Structure 1
Amino acid sequence: MNVVRAHRGQLFEYGPFTIRRLRPGERFGPLAIVDMTTLKLGARIPMHEHVNDDILSYVWRGSVQHTDVNGERTPLSAKRVMVVNAGEGLRHEESAPLIEAEVLQAFIRPAHAGGEAKTQLLERADGIAHNAWSWLAGPEGSGAPLTLRQAVHIYDIRLERGSTLEVPTLPGFAPWLAVLDGVVNLVGQRLHKGDVAGDTDALPAVTAERDATLICFLVDAEASGVMSGTVSGS
């Protein structure tokens, strides 16, 4: 198990944005970049284009507004999770017009370049499930609520203090677990907000020392991905 600790040196601030950019590395194959971002009230990322990026937008605190090229606005929160398959090209902007927000964006290299661009939305009235993993996204054809053009599965959970649960596993997939808030323990390793644990096989069971929000990626590290993505190819 490899643990990456959060520290101030990993953060960069740009106006109303504070961003921690993580690069999971070669053993997590197509999971290219994961940004953990705080958007202050009024923050806005102007209209911009993505090509050949699969993007998970996951808000666990506050609300972010997603606006497409036609001006359609979609609020994202813990009750609304979005995946963008940029394919041949997609333009959008994001902002925090109502409240400060914390958002994780994962940039995944799709298996093939091109394809029709699309935006997918998962709505869940009760938000993040407590003490049970929710399957958010998976490869096309997997039956997942949101589909990715790559061999990657994504899960989330709100683990209550004192609860212990196994981390999701799949044969041939490497787990990458991020703590979005709270404190958890993995076989004596205490992980705090922003800490990440990964392995090539499986992670040990996780225990919440404080209520914690967790997101887990299972990645086929052997999967090939295109390197022409606007962000995922960088």
Structure 2
Amino acid sequence: MITKRDRNLRGPTDAGWLKSLHTFSFGQYHDPDQMGFGPLRVINDDRVVPSAGFQTHPHANMEIISYVLSGELSHKDSMGNGSTISQGEVQLMSAGSGITHSEFNASDSEEVHFLQIWIIPNCDNNPPEYHQKRFAPDDMHNQFRLVVSPNAENGSLPIKQDAKLSVGHFTAGQTLTVALDPKRKYWAHITRGDVMLAGIPGLEGDGFGIQNKLEVELIANQDSEILLFDLP
């Protein structure tokens, strides 16, 4: 079974400095039919104007992934981490027993566009952790590259959940058959491009929930990027 989450049906937030589209219920946007997909709880497509951002705020017992699509995002937290996350980098913050952090657009002239992803952990109140890594684009060329996994497999970032995240960059005309475990759930999020997933068209911002499938065929009609979540 494959269910498409149309990009135009996502819940909007417009705070002036922040424009966000929510794949699942978040903040003032609430849809009882869109409360997440397995432990995948949040996919927020955020755009922040120059020199603005999220003031210091707390999190606990959530696995938080930030993936920058364009621009640069500055991060500071109560563990003493301070970094800039740029396009193609993956940041994973395990909030655990509690952490405070802030996120700001690092530029005074360019918008930052990023995804903020929340995954519910399978254990609570562990010490907070911070991880950040740039993965080689060649490893994502016309294939999926694992970037997050529970055991830090193949140099991926470690998450406290039986969940994996892979990223693929596909050139126009590329076809790929993706093998799946029918006992698991998968969520595909299109960050750019134009694809066909199991015969269903997908554009930037579209999501697909996949269950009970042995494989799916992916066709890139344009140069495209896809995030693929493997979930219990």
Q: Percent identity?
A: 23
Q: Deviations for 1:95-133, whole angstroms, at most 9, x for unmatched residues?
A: 112131211111111111101101011123548722121
In structure 2, the CA distance between the partners of 1:125 and 1:174, relative to structure 1 (3 Å rule), is: closer
1:154 is the counterpart of 2:165? yes
Give the distance between the partners of 2:134 and 2:10, measured in 1 at CA: 35
The 4+ residue runs of structure 1 with deviation greater than 4 A are 24-27, 125-128, 141-144
Tell me the residue number matched to 2:148.
137
CA contact (8 A) 1:58 1:104 kept: yes
What amino acid sits opposite 1:65 in the alignment? S
CA contact (8 A) 1:181 1:193 kept: yes
Give the distance between the partners of 1:128 and 1:86, measured in 2 at CA: 29
Equivalent residue pairs, number: 220
When structure 1 is superposed on structure 2, of 169-178 and 45-54 the one drifting more is 169-178
Q: Which runs of 5+ in 2 are unaligned?
A: 25-32
Give the distance between the partners of 1:68 and 1:59, measured in 2 at CA: 18
**Residue 141 (structure 1) shift:** 6.3
When structure 1 is superposed on structure 2, of 104-113 and 197-206 the one drifting more is 197-206
Partner-residue secondary structure (3-state), 2:161: coil
Give the distance between the partners of 2:180 and 2:102, measured in 1 at CA: 34
1:48 is the counterpart of 2:57? yes
Give the distance between the partners of 2:227 and 2:77, measured in 1 at CA: 26
Counterparts of 1:213-232 in structure 2, within 5 Å, are 213-220=225-232
Q: CA RMSD in A?
A: 2.3
Give the distance between the partners of 2:158 and 2:187, measured in 1 at CA: 19
> Which residue of 89, 96, 111 maps to 2:98?
89
Tell me the residue number matched to 2:7.
6
Higher relative contact order (Cα pairs below 8 Å, separated by 6+ residues): 1
Counterparts of 1:158-177 in structure 2, within 5 Å, are 158-167=169-178, 169-170=180-181, 172-177=183-188
Tell me the residue number matched to 2:205.
194
Give the distance between the partners of 1:114 and 1:108, measured in 2 at CA: 15
Give the distance between the partners of 1:156 and 1:181, measured in 2 at CA: 12
Q: Which runs of 5+ in 1 are unaligned?
A: 221-234
Q: TM-score, normalised by structure 2?
A: 0.86
Give the distance between the partners of 1:9 and 1:145, measured in 2 at CA: 29
Partner-residue secondary structure (3-state), 1:74: strand
In structure 2, the CA distance between the partners of 1:167 and 1:15, relative to structure 1 (3 Å rule), is: farther
